[in-house]
């Protein structure tokens, strides 16, 4: 049993697994070399052999306790007949959402389009040591809706007028999207992954009066599906501040990833019967070594004798020096 599974499922506080969101990515020169020869991001995600190589790069380099597959949350809208493009310095650009195209999808065509993702998992599982976990992931329904309907303005604000105008369409889409996300989780886990992470990256944009309908309830449906199938599941509802407590009480995942804007001591006191993951600001890794060690030690001390996974409060930044990552891992392992 991997360290990650021990902490998530057994609430074992005697070990401290380490992995990082976006650990397979732009900060690694070996990834940049592959990416420079593969300009189309979606096609790269659908290249099972290359994606497996990228997934294993940080494991080979740092001997982390878990690999997270190289893919993207927007592979699901892609498989549901929405065009997805990634533009440099702009991020993902999705075509206008067409409800008829979405509703014309079926489970068979969905699985066919995403089969390379499942192949990547199978390939990686065979190469990964048995003491390492393999994490698959999905975007939470609300975060995908943000992209699919273009609800986010250029200054990262929620377009409430558009949300109101499209509310019937969004409700219909949300319900059906949940089914496809559970299918995607099931396919990934049956292909060889052993942990699921649900990224609700834009949960923090929700007004208080909408957080139940768009964050708590959809996440709970997927977590219940995971628990029914005995799939260990970590939720990352970024930016919800004190609503982490209510999220935990309603959704009840095995683990909760916390962002760097929430007080870890408050989390330790208020979140019960759950494994905590992450918290440290990724920008800390741009500082000097002593600053990095002090911040890491703060989180380790707060969650001492508590089921905890060392991670960050968001993904590794592209400008991160891989040597800093290595030093941080060594520091944690030498002092725990």
Q: Token pair of 202, please?
A: 């834009």
Q: Kindly report which listed range (29-33, 70-74, 82-86) carries the lowest average pLDDT score.
A: 82-86
Q: Work out the burial of residue 92: count CB atoms within 10 Å of its CB; fewer than 13 is exposed, 13-18 middle, 19 or more buried.
A: middle
Q: What phi and psi values does residue 207 have, to the nearest 5 degrees? A: -65, 155
Q: Per this entry, what is the length of the chain?
A: 336
Residue 80 pLDDT: 96
Dihedral class, residue 112 (left if φ above 0, else alpha if ψ from -120 to 50, else beta): alpha
In this predicted structure, the answer to whether residue 336 has a pLDDT above a threshold of 90 is: no
Q: What is the mean pLDDT of the chain?
A: 96
Which SS3 state, helix, strand or coil, does residue 280 take? strand
| Domains in the chain: boundaries | 3-334
Q: Give residue-wise pLDDT tens across range 157-173.
A: 899 999 999 999 999 99
> Which token pair is 22?
């976006």
- pLDDT tens digits for 204-245? 999 999 999 999 999 999 999 999 999 999 999 999 999 999
Average pLDDT over residues 190-205: 97
Select 3-334's CATH number: 3.20.20.210, 3.30.460.80, 3.40.50.2300, 3.40.50.1220: 3.20.20.210
And the tokens for 33? 């070399």
């Amino acid at each position: 049993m991997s360290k990650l599974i021990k902490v998530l499922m057994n609430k074992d506080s005697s070990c401290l697994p380490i992995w990082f969101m976006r650990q397979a990515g732009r900060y690694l020169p070996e990834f940049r070399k592959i990416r420079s020869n593969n300009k189309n991001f979606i096609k790269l995600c659908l290249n099972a052999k290359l994606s497996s190589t990228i997934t294993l790069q940080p494991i080979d380099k740092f001997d982390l306790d878990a690999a997270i597959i190289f893919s993207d949350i927007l592979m699901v809208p892609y498989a549901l007949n929405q065009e997805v493009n990634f533009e440099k310095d702009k991020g993902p650009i999705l075509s206008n959402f067409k409800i008829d195209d979405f509703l014309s999808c079926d489970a068979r065509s969905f699985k066919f389009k995403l089969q390379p993702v499942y192949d990547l998992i199978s390939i990686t599982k065979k190469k990964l040591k048995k003491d390492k976990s393999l994490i698959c992931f999905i975007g939470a329904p609300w975060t995908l809706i943000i992209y699919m309907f273009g609800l986010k303005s250029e200054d990262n604000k929620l377009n409430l007028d558009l949300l109101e105008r499209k509310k019937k369409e969004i409700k219909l889409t949300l319900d059906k999207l949940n089914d496809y996300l559970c299918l995607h989780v099931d396919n990934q886990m049956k292909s060889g992954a052993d942990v699921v992470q649900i990224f609700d990256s834009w949960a923090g944009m929700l007004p208080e009066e909408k957080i139940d309908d768009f964050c708590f309830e959809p996440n709970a449906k997927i977590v219940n599906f995971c628990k029914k199938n005995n799939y260990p599941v970590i939720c990352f509802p970024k930016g919800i501040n004190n609503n982490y407590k209510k999220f935990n009480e309603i959704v009840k995942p095995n683990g909760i990833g916390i962002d760097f804007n929430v007080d870890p001591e408050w989390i330790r006191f208020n979140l019960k019967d759950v494994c905590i993951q992450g918290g440290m600001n990724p920008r800390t890794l741009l500082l000097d070594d002593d600053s990095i060690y002090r911040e890491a030690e703060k989180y380790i001390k707060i969650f001492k004798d508590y089921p905890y996974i060392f991670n960050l409060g968001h993904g590794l930044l592209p400008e991160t020096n891989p040597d800093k990552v290595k030093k941080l891992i060594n520091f944690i392992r030498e002092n725990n």
